Structure formats: C-alpha cells, structure tokens
Amino acid sequence: MQQRQREMLTRQSSERQSRIDRMQQRVQQLQSQKPEGVRAQRAQERTLQTQNRLLQREQGMQQRDQARLQRLGPESTTVGRAATAAAVQAAERGRFAERFREQAPAQAQAALTTRQSGWAPRQAWRYRHPAVFVAWLGPVFWPYAYSDIFNYTFWSYGYEPGYWAYAYDDFVDTVFWGGDGPYSAYASANPYDYPQAGGGSRARPRASVSPQTLQQLCGTPDKGVTAWPLADIAKAVRPAPEQRALLDELKTAAANAAGVFKDSCAETYALTPPGRLRAMMNRISATLEAVKIVRPALENFYNSLSDEQQASFNALGPNVGEHPPQQQANVEGCGDPKSGLTQLPIQRIEAVLHPAGKQKEALDRLSEATAKGVEGLQAACPNDVPLTPVGRLEAMQHRLEAMLTAAKLVEPALDEFYATLSSEQKARFNTLQQVAGP
C-alpha cells in the first residue's frame, strides 16, 4: 500500500511540477510586459496577482505532497539497500564539518537541539547553548544572517566551533537534497539517525515559523532577538565624545544594513534545486552587501579605541559556559578535498534519474562546476580564526564572496541540467532525499 501511495504521489507531483513550470513562465512573461496606459497596467496587475495566487496554491499543494512522500519514508529499492553502507561512509568523508562530529556527546546534543529548534543566537545563549548555523527557517535561507554579522564577528566563542564548516556543507547540500537532506546531520553523536532504506526511521523535528517571526526577520531584522547590542558596547568601552560620534556612525550603518535584508526573504518555499539555489544567492548577496556597509564604520570605531577599551570590547559576550582559547584557533580543517559534498549527490542523481545522452553530459558539467565552487569555499576557509573583530568581519566578507562565487559557478550548469529533464525526472530531483535512500 505504501508503494502504491508513493507511486501515486510521485506521479501527482510530476504533473503538478509541470503546471508550476508553466505558471512560472506565465508570471515571467507578464512581468516582462510593459503595457501602455493606466487601464492596461491595472489589468496586467490583476492578471499577475491572480497568476501569483494560483502559483502559490500549487506550490503549497506540491509541498504537502512532498511532506507526505517524506512521511512514507525512502523508496526501498535494491539500489538503495545495496548503496546504504557506502553512501553513509561517503557522506562522512570529505565534508567541511567532518572533524566536528567527534565532539563530546553533550556538546553535540546541545548543538543539534539548537539547530532543530531554529533558535536565534540569543535564544540559544539563553539556554547556555552555543549558537549554530541555522540554514532554513520556513522559506527563508540563513534567517539570522543580520545578527550573525555582528554576533559572530565579536563573540565568536559564543558560537559552535564548526559554525562556518556546517554553513558550507549546508550551502552545497541544500542545492541537491533540499533543506532537510539525509546526509547533513549537525554534530550529532548518531548523525545518520534519520529515515533509512528498509522502513526504519526517526524523523527530525522541523522548526516551526510564524508569520510574525518571518515579518520580523524580513521587515525589521534590527529589532527583537536579532538586534545588535550597541548599548552594551557603549557601556563597556565608555567612549569619549569623538568616539561616541563614530559609534553613532556604526549605529547608522547597522540600520542601513538592516534595510538591505528586506527584499531578500522568500515568502514561498523553493521546491526545485534551481529555486533553492537562487533563494540562497539572494540572501548571501544581501548579507555581503550588509557587511560592506558595516565594515568601514566598524573599523573606524574599533581603531579609535585605546588598548584598554578594545580589551573591554573583546570581553563582551554571551554566557554560554567556558570558552577555552583553543576554540579560537585551528578549528576549520579546510585543506582536504571535499569529495563527500560533490561526488555523493552526483552519484545519487545518476542512480535515481538515470540520465543519458545530453542529460549525462549536462550532469558532468554540473559536477565539474560544483567541484570548482567547493574549491573556492576551501580557499576562503582560514585555518585560524582571526583574533580581532575587524579581522573576523573581513574573513566573513571573504567567505560570503566565496559562497556567492560558488553559486554563480553552479547556477548555469544546474539550470542547464534541470532543463534537460523530463517532468518525471524533475519531480524525482526535487525530492531527491526521499527517493535516493538511505
């Protein structure tokens, strides 16, 4: 019965994806038109609104179908069963976060709880847990990007040591597996305790998100739990009048940085690999722009401080327990090739989609582009965490630039490969984590 339900949902998802593709093309056509006259413009706006409502409804139904597929568990195929052990071993090797899987069980569980709950940094610190990289909250990629710009820059010890390593893994995983991929467990003592081929499963809880939370993250990221504690800085360093003026400039830059995030939040879930990649690129671009806005003002203010003031500034931070000095250095481990990130998804795509001819050629180009993008991430991953806030912000800018460059390398190859697929293949690619096993 489960197999019949899976086949029905897969077929239904394939047909629905075809309708979504046609609707998206229609919306793009309408957006590109420039009618003359007020009446024609209003008619176009009404038509566009109607098409967007229909598209959102179809996407919502597609999302529910995919959730039902996920609850049914992965397809129990001979290929899936035979590849289980090899796939798990491959997933463990050659990832940015590989070395952080061996941390203490208590620390691993705290990080996993924080991630599954979708907690912002301050919410995690409230429970004396280190902040972690939260990839998705609802349809929004990197929901706490605005607060992380500041918090990681100045309070890096308040974050899980593998924060950026997991950010890189998530960035690549999301393209192929979606926001809940089977190979991207976060620092868990039992990282593959997820749906397995053969029917056994213990599904991960997903963080819920309210419209109010999304409105804050997208419309007013400088309020609430994501606000920058500039008042705490002023209290700690006791700025002189000329320094106070520079701090005010930093406050202005922070507000301007918040503004660039308002158009980077997606209101609907991206259900296709190309759609997910573009959603990530949109957020990363906004984050990079925000860093470039903040960095000059931050450098000016920090450099104006005396040695004592800088020491007081550096001592600020959340109460997350002990933060030994060794966490500040040699935590990245980016030198080795990341085969687990690039080879595994391509192998699973081949096993599930069976590409041939031009499809196989396009997949080879996608594999090459992904490998080049990951090489760029490796180069931007320093072996040591910079010791000054200014240095960490500069490193953050380099990381973001590398992520955006990687995305731009992958985007055309991914679009080309996706365009060669049939509707059935697209539906399987869209839900690769459910049909790929383990």
Which tokens go with 160?
A: 């899980």
Considering the entire predicted model, what is its pTM? 0.73
Residue 223 has a pLDDT of 66
Distance from C-alpha of 344 to C-alpha of 89, rounded to nearest angstrom? 10
Low-confidence ranges of the chain (pLDDT < 50): 76-84, 186-205, 324-332, 436-438
Cα distances from 355 to residues 6, 84, 270, 272, 359, in angstroms, run 22, 21, 23, 18, 5
Round to whole Å and give the CA distance between 8 and 6: 5
pLDDT of residue 285: 93
pLDDT tens profile 239-266: 999 999 999 999 889 888 888 887 787 7
**Single-letter code of the amino acid located at 344:** L
Q: Collapsing DSSP states into helix, strand and coil, what is residue 137?
A: strand
Burial of 32 (0-12, 13-18, 19+ CB in 10 A): exposed
pLDDT digits (tens, 9 = 90+) for 350-361: 888 888 889 999
pLDDT at residue 192 in the model: 39
Residue of 368, 376, 355 lying closest to 413 (CA atoms): 368
Interior/surface letters 2-12, b for 16+ CB within 10 angstroms, e for the rest? eeeebeebbeb
Instruction: Please tell me the predicted confidence (pLDDT) of residue 80.
Output: 45
Distance CA 69, CA 9 (A): 7
